Chains A and B, each alone.
Chain A
């Protein structure tokens, strides 16, 4: 039975990673067309991807958007989690249930709802509207990890800090923050990666400045090219490093 489960797990992991393996292999393939057989190996696609201005601009825009959205989501998520876990108030359960809507409802709903709203508010579409959209689904991501951590944290620590004369700000910075740091890093990291790769909401909220996924989407209409494979492979390696760093920072 255990052997069977192990074999099944190996097969599912293979299924989960086959497309990524294919992308990485074809990023080194010499041919312009992404099909078998592979004729030879090259690093040219990486050189072309690094020299491609539009891909680079898209990458920079994505980094800007993801950074801003993550900062906003982290602030909102932390505050919301503290409010839920440290105070009893009217509508607490309703508040808790409704903050997860942006990750529960399909992205397309968030996208078109914000599009109609921004159109009515006469706010021009651009990176700012994309940031607002991404921060909105990043908020519940941070909120969930933070609320789970705070629930396990004894309140007595903060009360002790207050009894010893700490101001609320001091108590937060010196007592609460160190114990929630790793949860905050984990939540922020997830919000960042989700924002960095987001396309479904972004399509509706972006103006003429493309994020990296939007740039890739625009090119995919004419078919996938090896530079895209090379770009994606580099992004994968970078986010891998980022996540390992995050894990290392959030170790307990």
Chain B
């Protein structure tokens, strides 16, 4: 056994060290660097290296910033909820009723991820715009007398596009969760006289909950950080916190304030993760 221990230890360091070093130096050190910026001051074009709460005070007191944060939280929750409701029946169907079409349908779920995210977001402009596909259809069928401008550049179009763009991230883990569901438990529940809805609520949902929450966490987090969709599809006043981060690191060039926004996003997501980690969500990602 003794001669075995040495190569074993060597094998451990060989496999552990490269990913550990990469993640530490290139991910966690930058994250910490970002967080330290959040507590520094920006004056003209320089960054003053002294501890301050100024950036967070500014976020808390500026109504525009505060509203954007609330709007982001609200929209991220709404998008997560809608995607859950859309994905539940789909995942159920894929896991139990897809039959020989299953492989093809699973590829179709992934297909949107292989084509440009930007262009798929932009496609909704072509669909929802004044001369768009939807207006064309509605006018042609006589439902509308003339094209409507109500479909694009508002919260509705933004939520619709966000739901669309992140839906696969909900369908995939949920389908896996349904596949792992022991069907004999569902049969047992039915045998014991539970109605289908009761079985669904008391047996199915608790068993697929880790997958559901894992998908929900992805959708929530992706929405919290998106700034492309709001700027392409949303209205002028519908920016999300991601736009604030992007502009502070871009044109406004106020890195400390941008870092403070990023820190707020981080704290929100860590809180959600802490709530979910007890349910075994992190192993299901």
Residues on A lying within 8 angstroms of B by beta carbon are 1-2, 5-6, 8-9, 12-13, 15-20, 22-23, 26, 33-37, 75-77, 79-80, 82-83, 86-87, 89, 95, 97-110, 112-117, 120, 132, 135-136, 139, 143-144, 162, 168, 193-194, 197, 199-200, 203-204, 212-213, 216-217, 220, 224, 228-229, 232, 235-236, 239-240, 243, 247
Contact of B226 among A117, A200, A228, A232 (CB under 8 A): A200
A76 x B19 contact (CB < 8 A): yes
Segment touching A, from B28-36, B151-159, B181-189: B28-36
7 more CB-based (< 8 A) A-B contacts, given A8-B90, A106-B222, A107-B225: A5-B89, A6-B93, A9-B89, A16-B168, A19-B127, A23-B126, A136-B26
- Report if A6-B224 is in contact (Cβ < 8 Å); known contacts: A22-B133, A79-B15, A112-B258: no
Interface mask (B89-125 → A, CB under 8 Å = 1, otherwise 0): 1101110010000000101111111111111101111
Asked whether any CB of chain A lies closer than 8 Å to the CB of B20, the reply is yes
Chain A residues contacting B131 (CB-CB under 8 Å) are 33, 35-36
Interface mask (B209-220 → A, CB under 8 Å = 1, otherwise 0): 000000001100
Give residues 130-183 of B contacting A (CB, 8 Å).
131-133, 135-136, 164, 167-168
- Report if A5-B23 is in contact (Cβ < 8 Å); known contacts: A117-B33, A193-B113: no
Contact of B126 among A102, A108, A224 (CB under 8 A): A224
Chain B residues contacting A240 (CB-CB under 8 Å) are 111, 114
Contact of B132 among A9, A36, A105, A197 (CB under 8 A): A36
Give residues 1-48 of B contacting A (CB, 8 Å).
4, 7-8, 10-12, 14-16, 18-20, 22-23, 26-31, 33-34, 37
B117 x A199 contact (CB < 8 A): yes
- Report if A26-B126 is in contact (Cβ < 8 Å); known contacts: A99-B23, A109-B225: yes
Chain A residues contacting B133 (CB-CB under 8 Å) are 22, 36
Give residues 240-285 of B contacting A (CB, 8 Å).
242, 245-246, 249, 255, 258-259, 262, 265-266, 269, 273, 277, 282, 285
- The majority secondary structure among interface residues of chain A is helix
Separation of A26 and B131 alpha carbons in the complex (Å): 13
Asked whether any CB of chain A lies closer than 8 Å to the CB of B237, the reply is no
Separation of A113 and B35 alpha carbons in the complex (Å): 8
B105 x A13 contact (CB < 8 A): yes
| Cβ of A76 to closest chain B Cβ, rounded Å | 5
Contact of B114 among A9, A113, A243 (CB under 8 A): A243
Separation of A212 and B123 alpha carbons in the complex (Å): 17
| Cβ of A121 to closest chain B Cβ, rounded Å | 9
A22 x B93 contact (CB < 8 A): no
A5 x B92 contact (CB < 8 A): yes
Q: In the complex, what residue of chain A is closest to B137 when comparing beta carbons?
A: A36
Asked whether any CB of chain A lies closer than 8 Å to the CB of B65, the reply is no
Chain B residues contacting A204 (CB-CB under 8 Å) are 249
A83 x B109 contact (CB < 8 A): no
A5 x B93 contact (CB < 8 A): yes
A89 x B245 contact (CB < 8 A): no
Closest 5 CB pairs of A and B: A106-B225, A35-B131, A19-B123, A117-B30, A80-B19
Chain B residues contacting A23 (CB-CB under 8 Å) are 115, 119-120, 123, 126
- Report if A139-B19 is in contact (Cβ < 8 Å); known contacts: A20-B115, A87-B12: yes
| Cβ of A198 to closest chain B Cβ, rounded Å | 8
Asked whether any CB of chain A lies closer than 8 Å to the CB of B221, the reply is yes
